[in-house]
Amino acid sequence: MKVFRTVTVQELIETLQEEDPESMVAFASDFGDHCHTQQVHSIKGVVEEIGLYQTAYSESGWAEKKTLPGEEEEPAAEGTPKVLVSR
């Protein structure tokens, strides 16, 4: 299984610790064009834990595992990462 790599909560806290507490925070991602323009996304501050699954349809190789209404949630596969997502 491919390994999902990202910062930990502790690393993020340490990175932001010296910043002005009134500064706005956003994240950037590749727009997908041939120039690799960086688009900037706002963060609403709602944090939740989600499961991931590998997919070839995503540039990152990962997508959020969702359960459709009326479906039973399947148990996560062994080694499937769970991450905190801020929306």
> Which range among 7-16, 24-33, 69-78 shows the weakest confidence by mean pLDDT?
69-78
- 62 forms beta bridges with 54
Q: Which residues constitute the domain of residue 28?
A: 9-86
CA neighbor of 52 nearest in space, from 79, 9, 82: 82
Q: Is residue 1 in a domain? A: no
Contacts of 55 (CB under 8 A, 6+ apart): 61, 62, 63
pLDDT above 70 coverage of the chain, percent: 85
The Cα-based distances of 81 to 21, 36, 85 in angstroms read 30, 28, 12
**pLDDT at 38 > cutoff 70:** yes
Whether the model clears a pTM of 0.85, i.e. scores above it, the answer is no
Query: Does residue 37 form part of some domain?
Result: yes
Overall number of domains in the chain: 1
